[in-house]
A = this chain, B = another copy of it.
Amino acid sequence: MEKRYCIQFFFIIIISISVFIFEYSRNPTKTHRNTNLRSTSILDDGVHNPNHHFTDTPLHPLDPLTVPEINKVRSILSAYEPFSSSFPSINALSLDEPDKSQVLSWKTGDPLPPRRASVVSFVDGQTHLLTVDLDLGVVTGDVVNVGSGYPMLTSEDLTTSLQVLYSSMEFNNSILARGVDFNDLTCTPPSPGWFGPDEEGKRIIKVRCFSSQNTPNYYMRPIEGLTVSVDIDKREIVKLTDTGRDIPVPKETNTDYRYTTQSPFSDVNPEINAMSMEQLRGPSFTVENGHTVKWANWVFHIKPDIRAGMIISQAMVRAENGEYRSVMYKGFASELFVPYMDPDQSWYFRTFMDAGEFGLGATAMALVELNDCPRHSYYMDGVFAGADGRPIIQPNMICIFERYAGDIGWRHSEIPAMGFDIRESRPKVTLVARMTASVGNYDYIFDWEFQTDGLIRVKVGLSGMLMVKATPYENIYNISNTDDMIGPLVSENVIGVVHDHYIAFHLDMDIDAPNNSFAEVNLVKEETLPGQSPRKSYLKASRKVAKTEDDAKIKLKLYDPSEFHVFNPGQRSRLGNPTGYKIVPGGNAASLLDLDDPPQIRAAFTNNQIWVTPHNKSEEWAGGLLVSQSKGEDTLAVWSARNREIENKDIVLWYTLGFHHIPCQEDFPIMPTVSSSFELKPVNFFDRNPILNAKPTFQKDLPVCLATSSY
């Protein structure tokens, strides 16, 4: 048991490293501090340790590769002639999903469609896109990438980059000159982006470092102006920028956010009595065969994914006649673009593509029970492959819970004037699937929330740490012109650099069937004719069905509003209305960068908030399959430039949720969660309100909880 746990934990470390971070350690004291840190964390909740994964078998065509399957892929690859000399580094290894038709025709009890794995491996300077057939036991496809872009970096790559870094006299001198103790040195490899010819043809890591002196929150203590670009294949420094020696490492040390190091609760911030959501008979949902969630009128398949983090598949809702009706075949976060707004030498390249460069699943740590997710949550582990092709368990990576927030599903009161005295109300209970990605400093909280009225809400929360820039200034009175600042001062010597976040969601809607159409229902002002009405104007809805992709490239406009419907042209409601779902935007932000700025070219999926494309298995990643240093020739914008037909076709809806973030002092040293969301809402999909007969809550339905006071 214990041994296995250690093995798993080791795996976690490996993949974590392989993901994007590595801390240099030149003496054993680190280990001690490490131990101390562990002992002071609040992980006493004890992460689940499900050893049964070692005998998992897939039960659904979309189930992720199991531990045995991953091991089998590894042995197949070992026997693959080109790799026989030495096993290659595995940059990605996951299920190659069967074709949609195979999945849709599959019924429980049927044999699974052929199990295949897609593997990305960087060998001898080339990126191999491999297909491995587990049933045949052979590699059935091996395509070498000829375009730009590299796969995710591995732990070896990162180790290499740091070895090169630390063997550099110039680097070490700079660290010494800045008075930073090597034991406090923490270096991270932000992605290099793509900025022109001098960095092409080589795999680059741009390393920057921090001082973790007296705090685990090293993000708040950057060593400014020191950036080292390493060619990890040639094992040489391409460029070392050292412009900030005069900029002090921020002194503020009260940045530790761990509970165990906080001063006890003061009157200033009084304790709130902890709460939990309780049910008399426990949760109403079940998880069958490990990945199929059934709750109320919903059923869907959910799985962890090393890149998307979490994938919802075959979401179906029950209709009046008791049959499940398809709503969405596949939904997931496809790419996450985070451009920082500083053209400075050591900052311009910080234009991250978190899903494609780091992986939202790869950076998803185990959720903190009772805090990340409420009591009675169901936890799901991630099963991935590491750089060595061996299986890795990410424990408690997804949680699923039923949610009651005191909201109202529907209500009406009648004025009790003679006649009707009615007060009816229904509580809103929903189901949430959540995962969180800690992509370095930033934490992303992804929620998929399902409602009994058919609505799906997708919510993204942002927390974690700012990426800050050190500055000589301690307060803004020292600053001659604050308008020149690239962000506000959030602590002494610390600037919170202005940045954006854009999360592109791939929403393969299948309203009752794969073939759907997209309609824009535009609200237009109509002027009345003279004498027609005392009113001068009113709004009228005009519906326009998109024929090709260009018709569905949407920029949201407050003063030219529309509803955006995905509907099934072959399906009508009882009254003859097209049955569909609409996407309902909430708060959003748009990218304002130049269309020909390299980061914007790579993240061109942010050129519109909404896109619609024909379903294409090779078009899943809005920023491209191979994102590192890519030039953006494999993005949603490029695919969609073909302006393909999308009417009555199997179409995919794309929505990008954006945030502008001008930091403030409240974001220091850790950010209160900021969130935004959008909704997928049934529109004439049901013949009437599907929760008309929802049950109200009565006292007798509620649990009896000890020591709870009641008004």
Q: Cβ of B410 and Cβ of A673 under 8 Å apart?
A: yes
A16 to chain B, nearest CB (A): 4
Closest to A419 in B: B23
CB 8 Å contact bits of A339-371 with B (1 = contact, 0 = none)? 101111100110000000000000101111011
A693 to chain B, nearest CB (A): 4
CB 8 Å contact bits of A367-402 with B (1 = contact, 0 = none)? 110111111111100000000000000000000011
Q: How far is the CA of A374 from the CA of B429 in the complex (A)?
A: 12
CB 8 Å contact bits of A73-116 with B (1 = contact, 0 = none)? 00000000000000000000000000000000000000000000
CB 8 Å contact bits of A481-515 with B (1 = contact, 0 = none)? 01100111111100000101000000000000000
CB 8 Å contact bits of A3-17 with B (1 = contact, 0 = none)? 000000100110011
Question: 8 Å CB contacts to B: which residues of A1-37?
Answer: 9, 12-13, 16-17, 19-23, 25, 30-31, 33-34, 37
Residue A243, interface by CB 8 Å:
no
Q: Cβ of A16 and Cβ of B416 under 8 Å apart?
A: yes
Residue A548, interface by CB 8 Å:
no
Q: How far is the CA of A305 from the CA of B17 in the complex (A)?
A: 59
Residue A696, interface by CB 8 Å:
yes
Residue A472, interface by CB 8 Å:
no
On chain B, the residues within 8 Å of A33 by CB distance are: 419
Given known contacts A267-B322, A408-B445, A573-B665, is B708 in contact with A280 (CB within 8 Å)?
yes
Q: How far is the CA of A281 from the CA of B705 in the complex (A)?
A: 10
Question: 8 Å CB contacts to B: which residues of A38-85?
Answer: 38, 41-43, 45
Choice from B12, B486, B705 contacting A705 with Cβ under 8 Å? B705
Given known contacts A463-B411, A557-B558, is B419 in contact with A25 (CB within 8 Å)?
yes
Residue A140, interface by CB 8 Å:
no
Residue A167, interface by CB 8 Å:
no
On chain B, the residues within 8 Å of A696 by CB distance are: 42, 259, 368, 370-371
Q: Cβ of B348 and Cβ of A537 under 8 Å apart?
A: no
Residue A123, interface by CB 8 Å:
no
Which of A124-132, A171-179, A528-536 lines the interface with chain B? A528-536
On chain B, the residues within 8 Å of A429 by CB distance are: 272, 274-275
Given known contacts A597-B537, A689-B666, is B422 in contact with A37 (CB within 8 Å)?
yes
Q: How far is the CA of A464 from the CA of B421 in the complex (A)?
A: 15
Choice from B22, B278, B542, B672 contacting A483 with Cβ under 8 Å? B542
Q: Cβ of A438 and Cβ of B421 under 8 Å apart?
A: no
Q: How far is the CA of A709 from the CA of B402 in the complex (A)?
A: 13
Q: Cβ of A277 and Cβ of B536 under 8 Å apart?
A: no
One complex includes copies of this chain to the number of: 2
On chain B, the residues within 8 Å of A373 by CB distance are: 406
Residue A585, interface by CB 8 Å:
yes
Q: Cβ of B376 and Cβ of A711 under 8 Å apart?
A: yes
CB 8 Å contact bits of A680-711 with B (1 = contact, 0 = none)? 00111111111111111111011111111111
Choice from B269, B282, B464, B705 contacting A693 with Cβ under 8 Å? B269
On chain B, the residues within 8 Å of A597 by CB distance are: 535-537
CB 8 Å contact bits of A582-603 with B (1 = contact, 0 = none)? 0011111110111011111000
Q: Cβ of B697 and Cβ of A682 under 8 Å apart?
A: no
On chain B, the residues within 8 Å of A682 by CB distance are: 664, 666
Which of A330-338, A453-461, A632-640 lines the interface with chain B? A453-461
Q: How far is the CA of A562 from the CA of B20 in the complex (A)?
A: 34
Which of A230-238, A519-527, A616-624 lines the interface with chain B? A519-527
Given known contacts A296-B270, A423-B368, A686-B666, is B532 in contact with A343 (CB within 8 Å)?
yes
Choice from B41, B283, B370 contacting A699 with Cβ under 8 Å? B370
Q: How far is the CA of A186 from the CA of B414 in the complex (A)?
A: 13
Q: How far is the CA of A672 from the CA of B488 in the complex (A)?
A: 42
Residue A480, interface by CB 8 Å:
no
Q: Cβ of B368 and Cβ of A424 under 8 Å apart?
A: yes
Q: Cβ of B464 and Cβ of A436 under 8 Å apart?
A: no
Closest to A688 in B: B668
Closest to A479 in B: B576
On chain B, the residues within 8 Å of A421 by CB distance are: 34, 37-38, 41, 43
Q: How far is the CA of A13 from the CA of B416 in the complex (A)?
A: 6
On chain B, the residues within 8 Å of A684 by CB distance are: 488, 664-666
Q: Cβ of A586 and Cβ of B586 under 8 Å apart?
A: yes
A592 to chain B, nearest CB (A): 5
Residue A166, interface by CB 8 Å:
no
Which of A451, A491, A711 counts the most chain B CB atoms within 10 A? A711
Can you offer 6 A-B residue contacts whose CB atoms are under 8 A?
A: A266-B693, A273-B283, A405-B406, A412-B464, A475-B575, A561-B592
Q: Lowest 3 A-B CB distances belong to which pairs? A: A282-B709, A405-B405, A343-B533
* Known contacts A269-B318, A275-B279, A476-B576; 19 further A-B pairs (Cβ under 8 A): A20-B415, A23-B418, A37-B420, A186-B419, A259-B424, A268-B322, A273-B283, A278-B705, A278-B708, A349-B534, A371-B426, A376-B709, A475-B576, A535-B598, A558-B590, A587-B587, A665-B687, A669-B689, A705-B706
